[in-house]
Chain A
Amino acid sequence: MSNQQKHWEKTRGLLFMTLAIWFVFSIGIFLFGAEMNEVTGPFGYPWTYWFTCQGSLGIFVILIFWFANRQEKIDEEFGFSEREDE
């Protein structure tokens, strides 16, 4: 397998992991919205309510930065990171 193919394999792996986390916090947990809202969560808000107004939103922000860093590492590993002068 060529260097480029290996790079793409890893990139795709990272994509699936990112999308899995995204799926949990954008869709998965809201399948149980009613049940989850019965429980008190962060700062005393009900869990579901907290996820819709802060939790999921904040997790998405962190997820994107985490994804960007991981992808940069993968690019470096295979020598595909951009030079600064480009």
Chain B
Amino acid sequence: MKGNFIDNLPKVYGIYTGGFIGFIIIMAIAEQMGMSAKAIGIAFVAFTVFIYALIGWLSRTAQADAYYVAGRQVPTVFNGMATAADWMSGASFVAMAGGIYFKGYGYMALLVGWTGGYVLVASLLAPYLRKFGCYTVPDFIGTRYGGNLARFSAVVVLTVASFTYVTAQINATGTIASVALDIPFQYAVYIGLISILLCSMLGGMRGVTWTQVAQYIVLIIAYLLPVFWISNKMGAGFFPHFMLADEVARIGELEQQFGFIANSKENLAMVPKGLAGITKAHSAVNATPWAFISLALAMMMGTASLPHVMMRYFTTPSVKAARKSVGWSLFFIFLLYSSAPMLATLSKLSLIDPSLPTGIIGKSIADVQAIDWYQNWNAANLMFVSDFNGNGTLELNEFFMGGKAVVLATPEIAGLPYVISGLVAAGGMAAAMSTADGLILAIANAISHDVYYKIIDPKAETAKRLVVARVLLLVIGFAGATIAAMEIQGILGSVIWAFDFAMSGLFFPLVLGVWWKRANRQGAIAGMLGGLAAGTWYLVWVRTGGSGFLGITQLTFGIFGSAVSLVAMVVVSLMTQEPDKATQKMVDDVRVPSGRTVIGKQ
């Protein structure tokens, strides 16, 4: 190929996408010829992980600029894809449709929150931080406010938020690897970790960027193909997003007809842990305005504070490109997020509608227990039926499913070939790996650049800095995997906490750093540490039986944390001296897109 790598990107990824589709077709043919389901699952996961590792190896680098910000030459659209993969975690991929399936409207606040946050990213922060020219988010805080304590406080908040998040992602890679490769979870976690590190160890941000683009392509194909296929197979419409109104209405009718019957405590005790029944309306408004809005707001402000997302916009060639790139990121995220409710609708209707061949409600319990897919997913601990009322037929309140089953099992229930299930496993793996890579890199870069280089040893040579960065990557990865192997909390819970931690400590110090010249060091430190402490206290208080106030729950504690952060930051800033002339000049420079970056070459 002629020209440099960047010019050839559309061609390179075009060939890659074609190759991947070819691989899916080969697997489909192999399935017809008798390849076992297990072998297909292994082939999908192994093949894709091998490709990512290859890209990681090809992107190896010894330059600080390439390692930290991919040489600042990632084109707008590709950075959008990389950000979308960075953003959409194993939880988005595997658990989101399930959440919508079980909780309906109240849960969909997450869809609004996880997309609306990008408006804040684009308008309040990303272009300005790009102009600043920092390598990491604490780099901005440390230079804007000055002083090692401010820098270190930012590293603390970043580490708390990102580490909470990363254990969930390593956990997800472990879950998928253990199912696809059929090995125990405790080992699968480390296989997942090694795959993650292969992408980021050698090339840093450059390696992660190009693997994330590749991972986005896999995950979006893996998500959309089954949704369209199932919709067409059920006759629900060839473009589900615009054509499922009748299905949504039909679910509402069936809910009326069956009614939501509450189960007794004794009966529920028989249901395996982690499974749930359908107890909430599918499309009706089932949450109070404040419950919905507070969750959406927390996720939006958290989005704008999470360093692994913000640092993706440090890699664009210009400030202008950073803004556009946020738009592309959200577009690529939108493709998946707008499909999740459609998948939830198709999945629910195919199970509960007695007039469909796949419907199981109203059938005899013995018949349901004899279905192949029921037996498979029951064995995987994701499905359960029990005849509570003893009438022999399955009622709506006697059917239980795990949240992950909506994505993982629906293709099989709808009668799609197994190759689709293999594809979905590869997609889930891609989603979890790409997010884990972004997070581990964010933590390792913050510690290597901000703590080691800027605070401990400012004279360190590039080679030494990059060795430290890579050692940290390993240490943080293994720490995350070790905690993930203990299986402390569910995937989604810890993801939401990460947003709350990030917004508690970082939202206002970042935003006011650009938009309020008067904000100073003392104020920022008070804002970061005060916000993080207040948020953490609230979480612990509610978790240990505290009643909470203003309807703020353990999922939205960031609202309290960030409010404390804002007040602390403004009050302390106004009580202390205003920033010096040089700092004010720096803020003026940040606000103008043209010209050199504020920090300059590092």
Contact = CB atoms under 8 A, between A and B. Distances in A.
A29 to B, nearest CB: 10
Q: Determine chain B's interface SS by DSSP, over half rule.
A: helix
B594 A30 contact: no
A72 B593 CA distance: 9
Contacts of A8: 591
A31 B448 CA distance: 45
A32 to B, nearest CB: 8
B123 interface: yes
Given A26-B296, A27-B297, A57-B334, A48 B594 contact: no
Interface residues of B, number: 53
A37 B327 contact: no
B594 A57 contact: no
Given A26-B116, A45-B245, A61-B330, A53 B594 contact: no
Interface string B288-313: 01001100110010000000000000
Nearest to A36: B285
A81 B108 contact: no
Nearest to A72: B320
A27 B291 CA distance: 11
A82 interface: yes
Contacts of A61: 115, 327, 330-331, 334
Given A30-B292, A49-B105, A68-B327, A81 B593 contact: yes
Given A31-B289, A64-B327, A43 B242 contact: yes
Contacts of A37: 283-285
Which of B119, B283, B293, B338 has most chain A Cβ within 10 Å? Answer: B119
Given A26-B296, A27-B297, A68 B337 contact: no
A79 B241 CA distance: 43
Interface string B101-118: 000010011011101101
A46 B248 CA distance: 9
Contacts of B283: 37, 45-46, 49
Contacts, number: 143
Interface string B494-531: 00000000000000000000000000000000000000
Interface in B460-491: none
A63 B105 CA distance: 24
A15 B123 contact: yes
Nearest to B292: A30
B111 to A, nearest CB: 6
Interface in A10-53: 11, 14-15, 18-19, 22, 25-27, 30-34, 37, 43-46, 48-49, 51-53
A46 B204 CA distance: 46
B341 interface: yes
Contact of A49 (B248, B324, B340): B248
B293 A18 contact: no
Contact of B330 (A4, A45, A53, A64): A64
Contacts of B124: 15
A27 B296 contact: yes
Contacts of A27: 293, 296-297
A37 B320 CA distance: 39
B323 A67 contact: yes
A56 B184 CA distance: 42
Nearest to A3: B592
B346 interface: no
Contacts of B116: 22, 25-26, 56, 60
Contacts of A34: 285
Contact of A60 (B115, B243, B293, B342): B115
Given A22-B120, A75-B594, A53 B338 contact: yes
B246 interface: yes
A63 B327 CA distance: 8
A42 to B, nearest CB: 8
B318 interface: yes
Contact of B115 (A57, A79, A81): A57
Contacts of A49: 105, 248, 283
B119 A22 contact: yes
A78 B105 CA distance: 45
A79 to B, nearest CB: 8
Nearest to B345: A53
A75 to B, nearest CB: 5
Nearest to B120: A22
B319 interface: yes
A7 B588 CA distance: 11
7 contacts: A7-B591, A18-B119, A26-B119, A33-B289, A37-B284, A45-B283, A53-B111
Nearest 4 A/B pairs, CB to CB:
A44-B245, A53-B341, A26-B116, A52-B108
Interface of B: 105, 108-109, 111-113, 115-116, 118-120, 122-124, 127, 241-246, 248-249, 283-285, 287, 289, 292-293, 296-297, 300, 318-320, 323-324, 326-327, 330-331, 334, 337-338, 340-342, 588, 591-594
Interface of A: 4, 7-8, 11, 14-15, 18-19, 22, 25-27, 30-34, 37, 43-46, 48-49, 51-54, 56-58, 60-61, 63-65, 67-68, 71-72, 75, 79-83, 86
